[in-house]
Structure 1
Amino acid sequence: MNPYSAQMENQNINREFGYQPATDSLDEAYTNTGEIRSHWKYLLESLHSLGAEAIEERQKKVRRILRDDGATYKIYDEPNASQTWQLNPVPLLISSEEWSRTETALIERAELFNAILLDIYGDRKLVQYGIIPPELPFSHAGYLRPCHQIKMQGEHQLILHGVDLVRSADGKMKIMADRTQAPSGAGYALENRTVMNRVFPSLFRDSHVHRLSLFFSRMRQKLHELNPNGGIARIVVLTPGAYNETYFEHAYLANYLGFQLVQGSDLTVRNGYLWMKSLDGLKRVDVILRRVDDVYCDPVELKGDSQLGVPGLLEVARMGNVAIANPLGSSVLENPALLRYLPEISKALLGRELQMESVKTWWCGDKQDLEYVCANLKDLLIKPTYRKPGLYEVYGAELDDTKLQAWQNRIRKHPYQFAAQEYVASAKTPTWHKGNFLPRASILRTFAVASESSYAVLPGGLTRVNLDSDKKIISNQRGSVSKDTWVLASEPEKHITLRAPEIQQSQESVGELPSRVVENLFWMGRYAERAESALRLLRTVFLQLNKTETLPDSIFRTLLKSITDVTSTYPGFTSFDAELLKNPESEMISIILDQHRIGSVANNLVAMIKSAEQVKEQLSSDTQRIINNIGDELDNLKLILKPGALSAPEEALGPLVTALLAFAGLIHESMIRGNGWHFMEMGRRMERALQIISGLRSMLTSKFDDIEQEVLVETALLCGEALISYRRRYQSGVNIENGLEMILLNAKNPRSLLFQVEELAMHFADLPGTKETLNAENKFLLEAITTLKLSDVKNLAKAETGVRQDLDQTLARVQYLVSSAAKAISQRYFDHAQGPQLLVKNTEWQDHL
């Protein structure tokens, strides 16, 4: 194609999507003359051939996949905003030649930062020789004196190193920031790649993109090599918990790497070692991949009021009995002021200048720098030297005179705590937004992991862009979205493996679940069953109330009262309020939809979803998808279920019941039969037993005329999905004796009370520590089974005084026994210990942070 034809093709592509290459800064895809850069040509032409409608459809698929995967990112300042991770469908492309230079420079930088870490917590020659002022490390909140001279085996102490790269107007990549404490983003980059591979399979394949998997194989291998205790390493990912902004990534990496995800409360220190508290007893932990900020990791020696760490962890690391990646104290390297001294540091430690420049930086702890920063504040990025929630970088050009003066006063008051950087207008990259390609500013975060001889760099990374062109600072916390980053290979990659034979040995860890995990699984089962039982009863009562024939007043009241009894939403229909009984729909809908009402369907489903969030790493993608569907169906109900607005309200509940059944079926058919499955099933069986008992006591313990009684027995059978089976088995019609036999004592009916307690006995028998002795929970359950099996259905059906006392007493006894078994299980297996508490709160430390 001649130059004129190429230019015309470029114009056609631009005209198709309304794209105007950036003029105020460099454009990643286009040259200054408007020509497509060679490595972007295939991608843009392919997207052009797809057309806007097809690209928009792919964007919708991206959103669906991310949501189904449970990919979330929490924006702290906007708790009610959508938490789903955002991925733009147009990747950032980097040529193989440029990446080769970038990779070499990043390896060099990782080696330098490793050397700085060794020096700061070792000989401190940088301070001794005056290369950096002592205030630079020692005034920083990330410098931890208790970590002095703590070392892991091997040359590399800095295991993971992250950098934020920006392309300046001259086309060169520059480094804005280093992430060394617990670098986040690699897991999101992997999720982005997985999604893009699914949404654009042929485009991805034909572009010859470098794979990311090798980087994570190296990470896994390095963590195993850090094992200080010999044998097969037990490695855990330490997370602050489900409310952390990047919790999805913690769970995602734990699953991808094959490690256990733990919180601080799951670990304990005994006899100089770190242990995980599992149902099978204490399991020694050899290596931690931590995502908890270092000052929170040990309340004994670091931040005393922390609830996220493990008391005594630092002493175990000091003894060399646990390896922590990255090591505690490594956040001192994230000080942006360090970039100001980096050229001199590099010459001292490496004997040369760095290949890749950092963005020009000033430290306000230096008097000359302070005066320069204050005089030029309007043109600079102001950065805190120590990152913490609520304290973000600001751009002086976006501040008015009053705020500029306030920042100047703040900086002069605490000069050591602030640095400033030259503002670099980052290169623009084609971004899909509102049906068009638009140029948007981007930055790239990529990562290096220590390997056998040096570092290995992730071939790509996490690109972030601002969809709003007026925003100058690119940050996920400020609403930026992500892109996949494609490093284009000059030739097809060879598939190799880094797995050592000893690492391939299987480690039977199905039962090695922390008690926190099994407790959440247990309550997931209970909350799901509560919601399902309530929905089944409400659906059946709606059906009975809307029959052609009018129900007797006594039956009408009994049915409504049973709703309150089963859901425990008192006083509800037990108050016998005349107006409420006259118009019961509003109360029934409140029991379904009022999220803040204890016992409501919505309240139980929200609690179930929160429990699922706490054990995200234990759930398959299909399970996550079903949980999302449950949330969707609940939201749909809020739109369509209104008093008097629906002709058949019971039909509106059907999809939510179906979603809950799908959840139960998936757990039953797909979940590994380990302790987690046993506890989830125990929760479901216990709750179903208690719900059956509540329903029967409310509806069947009082005596009514035969015709009235038939309606109540039929309701109970419908709730338990047993009416059709009942009619096939008993040809004489619906009566109390046969109904009780079917619901209460039929061991072949999966929704009978006897079936539930026998299933519980099976699960109890498989729990740890139940083989030798008959534990309390087994005794309670044995009595419950015996009580039911010795019952005589004829005696249970008798009602000499208007109340079936034998039935009520039997049900009350079994209810007590099942509840007692649940309490015994909780006391035996769940960890209720409170974390360490400070006797005196150190306010000086808080101010320092």
Structure 2
Amino acid sequence: MNLPSGQPVEPDGLSATTVSAELLDALNAYIGPARPGHFDELRTHKGELRGPWKTFFASIGLSGFESLPECAQTIDRVIRLNGVTYNVYAESQDYARPWSLNPLPMLIDPGEWREISTGLAQRARLLNLILNDVYTSRSLLKASYLPSALVLGNPGYLHALQGVTPVSGTFLHVVAFDLARGPDGRWWVVGQRTQAPSGLGYALENRLIVSRLFTQAYRDMKIQHIGASYRRLLDALEAQTTSIANGQAPKFALLSSGSYSETYFEHAYLARYLGIPLVEGADLTVRNSQVYLRTIHGLERIHGLLRRLDDDFCDPLELRADSALGVPGLLQAVRAGQVVVANALGTGFLESPSIQGFLPSISEHLLGEPLKIPSLHTWWCGEGAAWEDVSPHLGTQVIKPTFSTRQSTNFEPVIASLLNQEQLSTWRARIEQQPAIYTTQTYLPFSQVPTWRSNSIEPRTAMLRFYAVVGPDGSWQVMPGGMTRVAAVDPHVVSMRSGGSTLDTWIMTDEEVDTYSMLPTSGGLPKRYNEHELVSSRSAENLFWLGRYTERAETMLRCARESLVLLSINQRDSHPPLHDAMSELAVQQGLINSDTPGIQTDPAAFGRNLMQRLWQPGVGGLYDTVDTLERIMRSVRDRLPPEHVEIPGRIKALLKSAQNETSASSQRHSQYLIDAIEQLDLVEVPLAALVGFQLDRMTRDLGWRLLTAGRLIERLIHLSKVVDAFFRHAAVYSPRGFDSLLVLFDSTITFRSRYQRQQDILALLDLIAMDPTNPRSIVSVISDLRTQLQVLPDRDAIMTQLPDLQWQDDAITSLIAQICGAGQTGYAISDEIGKRLFAHVSDQHFAS
């Protein structure tokens, strides 16, 4: 029951690095000691800095140490701007917590890394062999190297795939290993993730942020880069799918559980970095045992799926029938050998902690060698002898669920040494009632790493996650870096769900640094322009409606502000036709209820209802429009710049603040209106930034074309309604109405620069309807829309409905009729695009 002893060996040369006395004094003043019984990653038992940390602090110097507070602030700012989140839905129905990253890295020296990487590569190879055996010959079960009840009774074992070998025989493509260092300095494997390992995207983001904070140290210490491991994963997928691609270039996708996944940020981030589409189950369909992606060009064959979706949810036909996340028929495609799924379905049973107890003997049997890195001593209580052996020592154990994927048998691990005698007896009784669902592991006090907290360096309990990646030849390599997770407060619990943080993990090398990166370089990588790029129908639909709702938010804001301006002026100077036109537009825009009195009838009631629908959620007004924007962006964040995604949240915060500001002045009607107008001016700034990002920060691919088409269609519909209302109510023939129409077309400056203060209806119509240089004119909108539509599939059928405005002999009535008809055409084109290009695989609740 005792852990082996031993001390890690520091590599030669690292301890020779000197740190200035001034910096040492500063470090000693700011560094707290590790807890007794925990290995101190920063200092030796003599209180001296360990070799890697000497090198790090000598490289950053006193000035770098003193800048750590600024580094922490920089990280927070970058994470906020990039929208890096970890969604914790256990705490709230919809709570996206900013990702937590500490500025100090975790350092591993070359000698230790050789031992770690060799040991983990061995384990990954062993796990793949176990899977191959269990799903084919079952010799390990027959020879009792693995208990049949433990494997066949595990929900993670898929009986439907018994006898099925994946393409090329590779079950695992990426394996995540959780390592911890014990008090004696030895590394131990605490757990392994084989189903859909998470963290690769977060590890990459951590590296990009922290390496730029300490660029000199990053170079001086020869920190190995991690980009080649991501390329290796793609190369392996390509090699394994070549045989089923029939001479074509294999196509891949990243299968996500959707925007409500706790790690959805990294799904989108990883898909973008790997250059493959991010898809959900509803985007895929199985035809003739082959997997296809629903795209705007029709069905496109997918040969490889990098999945971030647990087994149970992958196929509602054969697994969980209530799953709306999976792909019906996916198991049949796997059985037919027509798709490579990474990792293979049915690998989840290896994540059970009980498996760890059987790996040493299996390694000797299958590999002919012992495990290079030991697992924690493990007892599966379902074996009578094992439970009899460990029961007297239960107080030294951690009690874990054997089958954590089964909700009825899952629970949070329990550290028995923290229990009193009564609690310990209760747990012993539970185990004796159902021993098979419990596993115990010897408690290991994890090592503590230095973390920057406020104005000091505090040791925190840490667990490291490394990733073994298979190559095209089937060999395994461990990514030279990873993610170190640190405890929040409780030294016994290392969990992101419990408020933990992360460190970038730096691997020092005494060999050549591999500088390969999949990021664009300043040298200018050749760009690929592919008119048949894989844009899923769901992504295309969301982008189209993103354009429409962005424009809708702009027009609602402009219409609301003009309505407030009309309410704020002296009602003795009112113009009933203008009030009627603006009231009608407010109803059409969802700014007031249809049964609310108009401005002319009851301006106070109109204003109250307008305010309510501007600020409050759940009433279908401006706040809800922005909320829909945010939901759409969350679904397609892999296609959007990071800064783009955070803007709706900022707008919603401003709208909530505006509600409070205007409520404070509600007793004074005139001030109330002025405050509301000023608040709308504040909201307009981020909304304008959102439009700017769409115009200037997105690649001009088919997704962007659909987004732009959606915005132009919404603009065409709205502007035609404005023209119709102002001319039908004769509002445009008054000076105030004339100015209001220019405001709603955002063309006031252009008109005044040309015609000064003239009130010429023909000049007005020429500018807002027929001027091709005015981006808000009807003909300009139609022209721009035609440009975007002509690159879409089925463009001929879609574009036949686009009108060409004809204005002859200054016939105002005819032109107004054509403009109204163009607005109706906007609805028809929108419907035609939806019918021809979008899958309508789920109810999106978009409103035309």
Amino acid at match of 1:327: A
The one-letter code matched in structure 2 to 1:229 is: I
Matching residue of 1:691: 718
Q: Say which SS state the counterpart of residue 459 (structure 1) adopts.
A: strand
Q: CA deviation at 1:674?
A: 2.8
Establish whether residue 668 from structure 1 lines up as the match of residue 695 from structure 2. yes
* Aligned equivalent of 2:840: 832
Once the two structures are overlaid, the 10-residue window that deviates more, 136-145 or 751-760, is 751-760
Q: Which letter maps to 1:440?
A: R
Q: Quick one: structure 1 residues 340 and 671, their matched pair in 2 at CA, closer, same or farther if it must change by over 3 Å?
A: same
1:421/1:561 CA distance change after superposition, 3 Å: same
Distance 2:98 2:842 in 1: 32
Instruction: Determine whether 1:332 maps to 2:349.
Output: yes
CA distance in 1 between counterparts of 2:424 and 2:541 reads: 51
Q: How does 1:506-655 map to 2 (within 5 A)?
A: 508=530, 511-546=533-568, 551-552=573-574, 554=576, 557-558=579-580, 561-562=583-584, 564-571=586-593, 574-576=596-598, 581-582=603-604, 586-598=608-620, 600-624=621-645, 630=651, 633-634=654-655, 637=658, 640-642=661-663, 644=665, 647-655=674-682
Q: Is 1:423 equivalent to 2:446 in the alignment?
A: no
Question: Which residue in the other structure is 2:461 paired with?
Answer: 441
Aligned length: 810
Corresponding position of 2:776: 751
The CA distance in 2 between the partners of 1:514 and 1:680, in whole Å, is: 14
Give unmatched runs, 5+ long, in structure 1: 798-805, 836-849
**Secondary structure at the residue paired with 1:477?**
coil
Structure 1 partner of 2:53: 40
CA separation of 1:169 and 1:689: change in aligned 2, threshold 3 A: same
* Structure 1 residue 319, shift from structure 2 partner: 1.8
Match of 2:494 among 474, 477, 495: 474
Give 1:397 shift.
4.6
3-state SS of paired residue (1:154)? helix
The alpha carbon displacement at 1:412 in A equals 4.2
Equivalent runs, 1:406-417 vs 2, <5 Å: 407-408=427-428, 410-417=430-437
8 A contact 1:68–1:628 mirrored in 2: no
Q: Which amino acid aligns with 2:493?
A: I
CA distance in 2 between partners of 1:568 and 1:614 (Å)? 25
For the residue of structure 2 that corresponds to 1:314, the secondary structure is helix
1:312 match? 329
Identify which range, 450-459 or 404-413, moves more after superposition: 404-413
Alpha-carbon displacement from aligned partner over 1:90-144 (angstroms, at most 9, x marks no partner)? 1111111111111111111111111111111111111111222110100100000
Equivalent AA in structure 1 for residue 332 of structure 2: E
2:741 matched to 1:716?
yes
Distance 1:611 1:660, change over 3 A: same
- Kindly indicate whether the alpha-carbon contact (under 8 Å) linking 2:481 and 2:507 is maintained by their aligned counterparts in 1: yes
The aligned residue for residue 165 of structure 1 is 179
SS at match of 2:323: coil
- Aligned to 2:131, what secondary structure does the other structure show? helix
| Equivalent of 2:283 in 260, 266, 284 | 266
Equivalent residue for 2:709, pick from 667, 682, 693:
682
Cα distance in 1 for partners of 2:15, 2:289 equals 73
Structure 1 residue aligned with 2:476: 455
Q: Tell which deviates more after alignment, 557-566 or 270-279.
A: 557-566
Question: Aligned runs of 1:95-114 on 2, under 5 Å?
Answer: 95-114=109-128
Kept in 2: contact 1:564–1:573 (CA 8 A): no
Quote the Cα distance in structure 2 between the aligned partners of 1:397 and 1:32: 26
Question: What per-residue deviation string (whole Å, max 9, x for no partner) do you get for residues 419-445 of structure 1?
Answer: 122221101111111221111000000
Partners of 2:760 and 2:518 in 1: CA distance: 69
1:477-533 Cα shifts (integer Å, max 9, x gaps):
22211110011122552546999xxx9996836532110000000111111111111
**Mapped partners of 1:792, 1:477: distance in 2:** 71
Q: 1:819 is matched with which residue?
A: 827
Per the alignment, do residues 582 and 684 of structure 1 end up closer, same or farther by CA in structure 2, a change over 3 Å counting? Answer: same
Residue matched to 2:164: 150
2:668 counterpart residue number: none
Task: Please say which of residues 325-334 and 311-320 is displaced more in the overlay.
Answer: 311-320
Task: Please give the alpha-carbon distance, in whole angstroms, between the structure 2 residues aligned to 1:59 and 1:343.
Answer: 42
Deviation at 1:738, TM superposition (A): 3.8
TM, length-normalised to structure 2 = 0.88
Q: Secondary structure at the match of 1:653?
A: helix
Q: Pick from 490, 510, 513: which aligns with 1:493?
A: 513
The match for 1:730 is 755
Q: Name the SS of the counterpart of 1:574 in structure 2.
A: coil
Distance 1:778 1:156, change over 3 A: closer
| 2:627 maps to amino acid | V
Deviations 1:76-99 (A, max 9, x none): 212354422111111111111111
Q: What is the CA distance between 1:750 and its match in structure 2?
A: 1.2
Q: Which moved more, 1:262-271 or 1:624-633?
A: 624-633
Matched, 1:88 2:102: yes
Aligned counterpart, 2:370? 353
- How far is 1:416 from its partner? 2.4
1:664-704 deviations in Å (ceiling 9; x for gaps):
23323343333212210111011112222333444442135
Q: CA deviation at 1:261?
A: 1.4
> Shift in Å at residue 603 of structure 1?
1.2
Distance 1:337 1:684 in 2: 55
Identity %: 30
Deviation per residue, 1:344-375 (Å, 9 max, x gap)? 11111112221111111121211243456666
1:224-246 C-alpha deviation (Å, 9 max, x unpaired): 11113244211111111111111
The CA deviation string for residues 517-555 of structure 1, in whole angstroms up to 9 with x for no partner, is: 000001111111111111122233334444589641636
Structure 1 counterpart of 2:10: none
Judge conservation of contact 2:23–2:61 (CA < 8 Å) in 1. Answer: no
How well do the aligned residues superpose, as a CA RMSD in angstroms?
A: 3.3
2 CA distance for matches of 1:748 and 1:402? 82
Displacement of 1:51? 6.7
Give, in angstroms, the shift of residue 588 of structure 1: 3.5
Aligned match of 1:229 in 244, 269, 272? Answer: 244
The offset of 1:413, in angstroms, is 4.5
**1:216 deviation in Å?**
1.3
Q: 1:639 Cα shift?
A: 5.9
Structure 1 residue 311: Cα displacement? 1.7
Whole-Å Cα distance in 1 between the matches of residues 434 and 280 of structure 2? 35
Q: Deviations over 1:544-603 (max 9, x none)?
A: 4445896416368447625632422442683349996237655443332223221x2221
Residue 761 of structure 1 aligns with which residue?
A: 786
Query: CA 1:82–1:248 in structure 2 vs 1: closer, same or farther (change >3 Å)?
Result: closer
Question: In structure 2, what is the Cα distance between the partners aligned to 1:50 and 1:372?
Answer: 56
Q: CA distance change for structure 1 residues 761 and 411 in 2, over 3 Å: closer, same or farther?
A: farther
Amino acid at match of 1:362: W
Which of 63, 68, 71 is the aligned partner of 1:50?
63
Q: Does 1:464 align with 2:485?
A: yes
**Aligned-partner Cα distance in 2 for 1:513–1:663:** 22
Superposed displacement of residue 285, structure 1: 1.1
Cα distance in 2 for residues equivalent to 1:515 and 1:668: 22
Q: Cα 1:605–1:627, aligned 2, differ >3 Å: closer, same or farther? A: closer
The AA in structure 2 aligned to 1:827 is K
Seen in structure 2, the aligned counterparts of structure 1 residues 6 and 531 have a Cα distance that, compared at 3 Å, is closer
Q: Is the 8 A contact 1:510 1:674 kept in 2?
A: no
CA offsets, 1:384-439, max 9 Å, x none? 22334774333345567776666555544443222122221101111111221111
8 Å contact 1:534–1:566 — kept in the other structure?
Answer: no
- Structure 2 Cα separation of the partners of residues 391 and 822 of structure 1: 50
Question: Distance in 1 between the 2:832 and 2:211 partners?
Answer: 49
Match of 1:281?
A: 298
| Aligned position for 1:656 | 683
Is 1:202 the counterpart of 2:193? The answer is no
Q: Deviations over 1:804-832 (max 9, x none)?
A: xx95x666544433222212221221112
1:593-651 CA-to-partner distances (Å, cap 9, x unmatched) read 223221x2221112112111111111234544656665665566456554527755434
Could you tell me which residue of structure 2 aligns to residue 840 of structure 1?
none
Task: Note the residue ranges of structure 2 that are not aligned, 5 or more in a row.
Answer: 1-13, 520-524, 666-670, 844-848
CA distance in 2, matches of 1:625, 1:677: 19
